[in-house]
Each structure stands twice: as structure tokens, then as C-alpha cells.
Amino acid sequence: MSGLGGLNKSPNGVVVGLVQIQNPWVVTPADVAKQTARIVELVGKARRNNPAMDLVVFPEYSLHGLSMDINPEIMCTLDGPEVAAFKAACVEHQIWGCFSIMELNPGGNPYNSGIIIDDTGEIRLYYRKLHPWIPVEPWEPGNIGIPVCDGPKGAKLGLIICHDGMFPEMAREAAYKGAEIIIRTAGYTAPIRHTWKITNQTNAFHNLAQTASVCLCGSDGSFDSMGEGMFCNFDGTVMVEGSHRPDEIITCELRPDLVREARIHWGVENNIYQLGHRGYVAVKGGAQDCPYTFMHDMVAGKYRLPWEDEVVHKDGSACGFAPPERRYKGPEA
């Protein structure tokens, strides 16, 4: 199915490269500039690695590392020099790219953001991580939803970031909006290895989507990231799986046309359709109500677990962050 990692590209294939970039240690603006240059170099390596590659994906924290430093001097903006360099690299090498930035937020903590840039240097998708990995991460919760864009060969692309992928609702929302290839970028370390694998597989199968997921790789002197890029097919099987070697680029040919075919023709296990059409054999069109209490409660702003009062970690104190005073302001217009 993978076309030998995209070496044998079919007319309908989209070849994706996942970069297991070496986990960097970034403290100063000079460090950010140096790491920006390294990412640009690896865009060139990706193009040389496989001339048929359509999209190269860098993991979460590939620019800023895992320090969780919110120093505004090293934060990025969409019109800053780092994003400009990524745009230029995509144009130079005629390739789409997915990149990670920690984004300056004048009104609060920085956002953990991801962007997809096309081969003309235009930002085609911009996403702010909805679910920071609390209590470890200090990032502002995302407020612009889960966007989807048209990618190479017309493939519908979605992007979720790291911990997002542990919530089935995230991949479901991306697929519900049409995503055929769901990208997941991460900075995970080895203790998350098992759940990383099974959630990448289930996110694919639950939504009849193909998933392309990649972590940082190697040690920064404190933290060891695991690499382990992986591609999963819409039946949940793993097509290509990476190693623990830093800067290795894992490649695979994905077939969004076969995703579309499955979503239209599957009967058994067409779960993303059947979620909203329960029991259509018995009742015309299936039941289209919402039987899930947690969904109703969340919409009403009263989501509450039966064991809510017993939950220990409700802020970042355990990881050295002061309890916040601000409340979430809600989605941006």
C-alpha cells in the first residue's frame, strides 16, 4: 500500500515524509535562528531524499524544543522571520511543509501552533493546539477550532498536535470536516509509546482516514523523545513505522482516493457515518439524535465528572506553574 515509501508513486498517490528531527535545546533568539536554519536544511534533505515527495512534516517542538520556556523573546509570529524562512524553503524545494511554532500571545500565554505551507509559500492551514498536555505544558488553549485544508492532489488535510490525538473527538472533528489525511505532530517521550501507537491506529479506523504521525527524536540532554513516525491506513493497520534514529525521514504514499472510496462504499464499520445514523436497518435514515450526556453537558457549559471533586491536578502547580487567574475567553471570531 505504501508504494515502497513512495518510490513507486501512483497517479492518485500523495507522498508524505515525516522528519524525526533531533530534539533541540533552545534558550535564546540565536538558538531559535540556528534551529530555523536546521529545519530549512531538512526541507532540502526531504526533497533530495524522495523527488516524488509532496508534503514534509516536522514534529511539534521541532523549533523550540521541550523546555516549555514562555520567554516572549523566543516566541514566533506568523509574519516573523522563522515562518518566512519556512515559506521560502517550501518555494525553493517545490514542496508542501507542516511546521510547529510556539506563537506569541500578547493577551496571555503563548499558543502551541501548527501551520501547513504550500509549494508557493502560502499558509494553507493554521491551527492552535486545543489540548495542551496539562499539567506539564503552559500553552494557552487553542481557540480557532480544527481547520481542514485542500492539500497536494486535492487531498483534504487535517492537523492535530500531540495530546490532541488522545481525545477521539479531535480526529473525529477533523474527519467530520472532510479530512482524509490526519497529521499528528508530537514531542512525546518514551512512556507514551504504547498509547501513541494505538491512538494513531484507532484515529484512522474510527474515521476511515489515513494518519501520518511523528515525534521529536533523541535527547536534548534532559528529555528523550522517541521518534517513531508512523502511517496508518483507514482500516487501522500500520503501513510504515519509523525507528528511534534522529533526523530520519519516514516516507509513505497515501491514497486519499481509497479513503473516499471506503467512506462511500463501506457498510460494516463505516463508523463516522453510522455515528449519526444509528440503526438505519430498523428506522429510515437511522436515529439522528444525540444520546450522549457528556456532549449535551459540554454544550451547556456544565461538563462535570462523577468524581470531579476528587481530581487532584486542576492546575499546573505540580509542574512549577502558578495557578492562573484568567478565565478562557472563548473562540475567536
CA–CA dist 15, 54 (Å, integer)? 5
Q: Is 217 a catalytic residue?
A: no
Q: What is the DSSP string of 245-280?
A: -TTEEEEEEE-HHHHHHHHHH--TT-HHHHTTSBTT
CA–CA dist 57, 146 (Å, integer)? 18
Considering 60, 103, 180, 253, which one is annotated as catalytic? 60
Considering 129, 140, 149, 253, which one is annotated as catalytic? 129
For residues 4 and 46, the answer to whether their CB atoms sit within 8 Å is no
Q: Is 252 a catalytic residue?
A: no
Q: Is 60 a catalytic residue?
A: yes
CA–CA dist 112, 130 (Å, integer)? 9
DSSP 88: H
Q: What is the grid cell recorded at 210? A: 489515513
CA–CA dist 195, 30 (Å, integer)? 35
- How far CA 276 is from CA of 273, 290, 291, in Å, comes to 6, 8, 10
Q: Is 49 helix (H, G, I), strand (E, B) or coil?
A: helix
H or E element in which residue 91 lies: helix 81-93
Considering 90, 162, 215, 217, which one is annotated as catalytic? 162
Active site residues: 60, 129, 162
